[in-house]
Amino acid sequence: MMIGVARITIYLQAAESLKEKRRVVKSLLQRIHNRFNVAAAEVSDLDDRRIATLGVTCVSNSGPHCEEVLASVTRFVDGNLEMGQMGEIETEVIPW
């Protein structure tokens, strides 16, 4: 079994408040989960309205499949940001 983990940082310069940031992030996380059937959550920078750090995890029996799913999620996030831009992306596939 392989566990794929991605940490995606998003910069939301246009967010006026934490409420607006959370609306954008919650919507994005729900779309990620529905489309890719992965676990996704905001994992850091919770009180900073300009930055959102997302954690995405998938489990598979194949390492390349995990890498492919995480790459697809990253492309999806980059193409579906309502405001802001992608920042750093860290991925790792861990054998279990």
Domains, the chain, ordered by start: 2-95 (3.30.70.1120)
Give the pLDDT score at 38. Answer: 96
Helix (H, G, I), strand (E, B) or coil at 70: helix
According to the model, what pLDDT value does residue 14 have? 83
C-alpha–C-alpha distance, residues 93 and 96, integer Å:
10
Q: Which amino acid is it at 12?
A: L
The closest alpha carbon to 77, from 23, 34, 26, 28, belongs to 28
pLDDT of res. 19: 92
Position 82 scores a pLDDT of: 75
pLDDT given at position 5: 97
Tell me the pLDDT of the chain (96 aa) as tens digits.
Answer: 999 999 999 999 888 899 999 998 999 999 999 999 999 999 988 888 899 999 999 999 999 999 999 999 999 999 988 778 999 999 999 998
Q: What is the pLDDT of residue 91?
A: 95
